[in-house]
Chain A
Amino acid sequence: NAGVMQNPRHLVRRRGQEARLRCSPMKGHSHVYWYRQLPEEGLKFMVYLQKENIIDESGMPKERFSAEFPKEGPSILRIQQVVRGDSAAYFCASSPPLALYNEQFFGPGTRLTVL
């Protein structure tokens, strides 16, 4: 049973470009979460999605950031017009529906570097 898949693992963008980060949850998992880990900081919640629904985006910057989890295909975290401060590791996690303990399983992350 494959774990959470994220791609790309490393992404380099110049200021002003767009970054698209993909996440395929574990098989059977319908809940997806995105977290960001800035250098010297802990993991911070960004957004919680279920299929075709954004449940909670309270941790996501209001501008330039968006996320989706379509009926088919991976979840996408999109960052428009990237700035140097967006450089970070972005992690996706997934959990199954109606899980007893709602345990979240993380992918290997995408390391975004903005030049």
Chain B
Amino acid sequence: TQLLEQSPQFLSIQEGENLTVYCNSSSVFSSLQWYRQEPGEGPVLLVTVVTGGEVKKLKRLTFQFGDARKDSSLHITAAQPGDTGLYLCAGLLVYNQGGKLIFGQGTELSVKP
């Protein structure tokens, strides 16, 4: 059974602080996708990391894929209240030209002004 352990589950910080969310697994994934979900809405894809050791930046968000493609991290610099939301990592298992996503439990981030 493939599992993704995401930590921390809850994070409450002040505006301007930095934070890191971790996603760890004992399984190797074809790729890892990070999503953000607002209450009452579906997950919105932020980024996909594919290559071991890959680093991608999206404004103040930095995503890293571990060398062995088993773990990933999301780092937010100078967090803002607009970053508040549920962040989800998901590992992709590819087959039949598609595949299924294995999701972590999510990190509920609250950024206070």
Query: Residues of A with Cβ closer than 8 Å to B?
Result: 4, 6, 31, 33, 35, 41-45, 48, 50, 55-56, 59, 91, 93, 95, 97-98, 101-109, 111
Contact = CB atoms under 8 A, between A and B. Distances in A.
25 contacts: A31-B98, A33-B98, A33-B100, A35-B101, A41-B105, A42-B88, A43-B90, A45-B101, A48-B96, A48-B98, A56-B95, A56-B100, A95-B98, A101-B50, A101-B92, A102-B30, A102-B31, A102-B97, A103-B48, A105-B45, A106-B42, A106-B43, A108-B41, A109-B40, A109-B42
A97 to B, nearest CB: 6
Interface residues of B, number: 28
A106 B97 CA distance: 18
Contact of B92 (A50, A55, A59, A102): A102
Contact of B42 (A44, A95, A98, A107): A107
Nearest to A41: B105
Contacts of B92: 101-102, 104
